[in-house]
Amino acid sequence: MKTHYYLSWFNDFFPEKLVKWLHEDIKDRKSLVMISAQPSGHKGEQVNIDDVFERTWFNQANIIFDEYHLIDHRMQKEDAQRLIKNASVIFLCGGNPVWQKDFLAEYELSDAIKNSNAVIMGASAGAINMAAKWLSLINTDDDVETGTIYDGIGFDHFAYESHSKRDYSTFVQGYLFPLSEEIDVYAVEQESAIRVKDGKIEIIGPVYLISHSKIQKLVETF
């Protein structure tokens, strides 16, 4: 039974409905392994899992683990792979999705994550990298955004978009429409979550399905 959570961003804590799902799904609480999306941001410093903002969400939800680990460039590749193999929950953190994508490739973690029986979760950049495809937008000098499509880990066959400054008003402008001709895109606002459990998609919060250049707001399934 595979369970994947694609999260947007929560400024304070997990919403109550999401907490209920998580308590249902996270029965094994031996080890939470978090993967940085700023893997080179703390070189030379001690790894401190308490500094990871996303960990506070679990604390507030009263989901407490025996062990906590943060994987970034301060950790050896072999140690990172071992932690992934033994994780109860694997959490891909928010930050820079391109840096995280490159780090996953460098440390050869994608296959290890896909082969894990852990609950897999990602927030913002982490959720983007969990999807099959995603679009990276870059502002050029003339203030025109150009996009590059990347392949994600590919837990589920859809593309995902989650950025705190984007919402329906930006999604409807169509920058995701070309990608939606190739694959369904789930675009989410803040305070949203998608759970895929045994292939069934369920949602909390403002989530939009963009398919073949048509956008529709989905009804919460909680």
The domain containing residue 87 runs over which residues? Answer: 3-217
Contacts of 164 (CB under 8 A, 6+ apart): 8, 9, 124, 190
Say what the pLDDT of residue 11 is.
87
77-113 burial, b at 16+ Cβ within 10 Å, e below that, comes to eeebbebbeebbbbbbbbbbbbbbbebbeebebbebb
pLDDT tens-place string over residues 194-212: 999 999 999 999 999 999 9
In a domain, 25, yes or no: yes
Say what the pLDDT of residue 45 is.
60
φ, ψ dihedrals at 51, nearest 5°: -80, -10
Mean pLDDT computed over 128-134: 96
Domain CATH number, residue 130: 3.40.50.880
Say what the pLDDT of residue 12 is.
87
- Mean pLDDT (the chain) is 90
In a domain, 210, yes or no: yes
Q: How many folded domains does the chain comprise?
A: 1
Read off the pTM. 0.92
In a domain, 222, yes or no: no
